């Protein structure tokens, strides 16, 4: 790796910007993407690897390239410091996610209930505005309270967040979507809100519900068929 490439890679890491280092296996030639000048097809392969968050060896025009993805931790923003949030934060942390718990209710959103977890006690829309959800961010609303969930979902829908979900029954989901439509969101935007959030595994307890939510987030992130809703 040349000093210039190493410097650019470090700069991308410091800026928490996902990049891919493409290495031609035949001679070790390298290019950091996006931003570098690459042979035809390599930039597209790097963009796909970044999107899939998966390093891989690809064959392009008879040459083998190793596309090594360097990206910040996938972020999970949990709106609502409820019991399920405690279990969800534990599961997400074990999977290497960066967790942010958002809830203005200080007795719930405490260090005692969420040890070692980043917490924000702002109102959800203000917190989401500050966090700036991107394509490596999942937002899950868990409070069942429209005063807290709706502002968070509204702000998340105005971002490129990779995953947006909300807890609640199908009836609650229908009412939620109607309220979001009144805020100006069209059908395409509303379809991004996964609700009731979580894969249908028959979950009952808080840890089981957290598992179902985390499973759906992973399925969407990894482009699994399980993440496709009808």
62 lies in the same domain as 81: no
Q: What is the mean pLDDT of residues 109-132?
A: 96
Among residues 55, 70, 85, which one ends one of the domains?
70
Q: List beta partners, residue 195.
A: none
CATH number for 209: 3.40.50.720
What pLDDT score does 102 carry? 98
198 lies in the same domain as 123: yes
Q: How confident is the model at residue 21 (pLDDT cuts 50, 70, 90)?
A: very high
Among residues 27, 47, 70, which one ends one of the domains?
70
Mean pLDDT of all residues in the chain? 94
Element (H, E) at 131: helix 124-131
81 lies in the same domain as 144: yes
Boundaries of domain holding 149: 75-227
111 lies in the same domain as 196: yes
How many independent structural domains does the chain possess?
2
Among residues 35, 70, 105, which one ends one of the domains?
70
Task: Single out the residue of 84, 114, 83 nearest to residue 100, CA to CA.
Answer: 114
Distance of CA 42 to the CA centre of its chain: 25
88 lies in the same domain as 180: yes
59 lies in the same domain as 105: no
205 lies in the same domain as 100: yes
Secondary structure of the chain: what % helix, strand, coil (to 5)?
Answer: 40, 20, 40
66 lies in the same domain as 90: no
89 lies in the same domain as 203: yes
What pLDDT score does 56 carry? 92
48 lies in the same domain as 95: no
Q: Dump pLDDT digits (tens) for 59-99.
A: 998 899 999 999 889 999 999 999 999 999 999 999 999 99
Total count of residues recorded for the chain:
230
What pLDDT score does 141 carry? 98
**How many CB atoms are located within 10 Å of the residue 57 CB?**
12
61 lies in the same domain as 86: no
- Residue 45 burial by Cβ neighbours in a 10 Å radius (0-12, 13-18, 19+): buried
Task: Single out the residue of 209, 89, 79, 100 nearest to residue 149, CA to CA.
Answer: 79
66 lies in the same domain as 97: no
Q: How confident is the model at residue 36 (pLDDT cuts 50, 70, 90)?
A: confident
Task: Single out the residue of 144, 154, 210, 207 nearest to residue 177, CA to CA.
Answer: 154
């Amino acid at each position: 790796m040349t000093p210039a490439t190493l410097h650019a890679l470090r700069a991308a890491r410091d800026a928490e910007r996902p990049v891919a280092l493409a290495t031609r296996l035949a001679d070790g030639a390298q290019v950091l993407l996006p931003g570098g000048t690459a042979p035809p097809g390599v930039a597209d392969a790097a963009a796909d690897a970044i999107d899939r968050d998966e390093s891989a060896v690809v064959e392009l025009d008879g040459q083998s390239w190793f596309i090594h993805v360097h990206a910040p931790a996938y972020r999970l923003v949990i709106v609502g410091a409820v019991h399920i949030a405690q279990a969800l934060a534990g599961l997400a942390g074990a999977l290497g996610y960066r967790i942010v718990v958002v809830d203005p209710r200080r007795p719930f959103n405490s260090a005692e209930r969420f040890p070692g977890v980043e917490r924000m006690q702002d109102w959800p829309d203000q917190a989401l505005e500050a966090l700036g959800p991107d394509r490596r961010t999942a937002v899950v609303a868990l409070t069942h309270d429209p005063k807290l969930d709706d502002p968070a979902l509204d702000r998340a829908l105005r971002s490129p967040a990779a995953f947006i979900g909300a807890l609640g029954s199908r009836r609650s989901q229908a009412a939620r979507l109607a309220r979001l439509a009144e805020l100006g969101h069209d059908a395409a935007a509303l379809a991004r809100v996964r609700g009731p959030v979580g894969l249908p595994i028959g979950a009952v307890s808080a840890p089981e519900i957290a598992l179902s939510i985390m499973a759906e987030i992973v399925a969407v992130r990894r482009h699994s068929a399980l993440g496709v809703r009808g």
